[in-house]
Amino acid sequence: MASSGLQTKKGDSHSDHLVQPTNPNVAAMQEDVLYHFSLSTSTHDFPAMFGDVKFVCVGGSPTRMEAFAKYMAKELGLDHPGAEYPNICRGTDRFAMFKVGPVLSVSHGIGIPSTSVMLHELIKLLYHAHCSDVTVIRIGTSGGIGSCRESKERTRGSEKAGAHLLGLKPGSVVITRQAVDASFKPVFEQVVLGKRVVQRTHLDEELAQELMQCSLELLDFPTVLGNTMCTSDFYEGQGRLDGALCSYTEKDKQKYLQAAHSAGVCNIEMESSVLAAICGACSIPVAVVCVTLLNRLEGDQVSSPHEVLVEYQQRPQRLVSHFIKKRLAAARNPPNL
């Protein structure tokens, strides 16, 4: 298993930033079965397996997260001939999990419900492993909505900054400033014991700015900082005209997407709000970095060639990899105070 080789500090009981669920019942459990991960505190040594984790990168596809783990192994100098990266959750087909040094790569499926389940068990895993100073980043795909407010774009040979961009081309990377719901409100809502519970969806602004700075250092693809709209559906919930059901017109769709654009929304996906809400409740720094596969103002279907989509999906991975390497280098060589 290629899960070690880069020396990082194990979870420190004296750290001020230990991962801590807000549920007091967890500490009193004699055994905690993380059913959807096929892991249990009675059968697995969580501190030994995960105690050095500092970065958790999550994304929808198991295949993509396995590829990211292999990519990180190369980037961190941990890859070698014959290296294997086994799925830690191989006892289940719900999620996939891979570990490379201090980086945990986990799939979350599609949508809020699946992501919520994964996050509950992930946070408990990190807690049982006594992990500290953990950063969570979603690397995924999304649909773009043209212009963004207060954003920057930089590509090789050019740099632009201003109040607006003229459009988000497919392949642009969006770093989420704030996750909003389908009504453009920065909230995550669910029903608990029959009662409506609303949580804020603020993301870590300092982390987002740090990622933005990394994008300016890479110079490889356009990157913007803006709001992300999180919906509960891929078709009608995002105003698509190509689903099995459609109760509105093209004009209605354009009006809605223009309203989203006016509210500062740069892109649309299906997981950011629950990530912001749950990680925020547990005081875990979290960021969302997604590439746009199409401009939703121009169409609904993802029709780019497969090889183009593969390259697009690698862009958030390259950005986050650069961020992780930069953070690790800073930890090894702290500035003199």
Q: What is the amino acid identity at position 197?
A: V
Query: How far apart, in whole angstroms, are the C-alpha atoms of residue 165 and residue 149?
Result: 7
Instruction: Tell me which architecture the domain covering 140-147+167-336 has in CATH.
Output: 3-Layer(aba) Sandwich (3.40)
Give the residue numbers of the binding site.
Answer: 94, 138-141, 238, 240
Query: How far apart, in whole angstroms, are the C-alpha atoms of residue 214 and residue 273?
Result: 24
Give the residue numbers of the binding site for phosphate.
Answer: 94, 138-141
**Look-up of token digits 């709209």:** 229
Residues forming a β-bridge with 168: none
Question: pLDDT tens across 14-47, in order?
Answer: 346 999 999 999 999 999 999 999 999 999 999 9
Give the residue numbers of the binding site for substrate.
Answer: 238, 240
Q: Give the chain's residues under pLDDT 70.
A: 1-16, 146-167, 336-337
Query: How far apart, in whole angstroms, are the C-alpha atoms of residue 121 and residue 69?
Result: 20
Query: How far apart, in whole angstroms, are the C-alpha atoms of residue 298 and residue 308?
Result: 18
- The pLDDT assigned to 337 comes to 53
| Domain segments of the chain as ranges | 27-133, 140-147+167-336
Question: pLDDT tens across 79-103, in order?
Answer: 888 888 999 999 999 999 999 999 9
pTM for the whole thing?
0.89
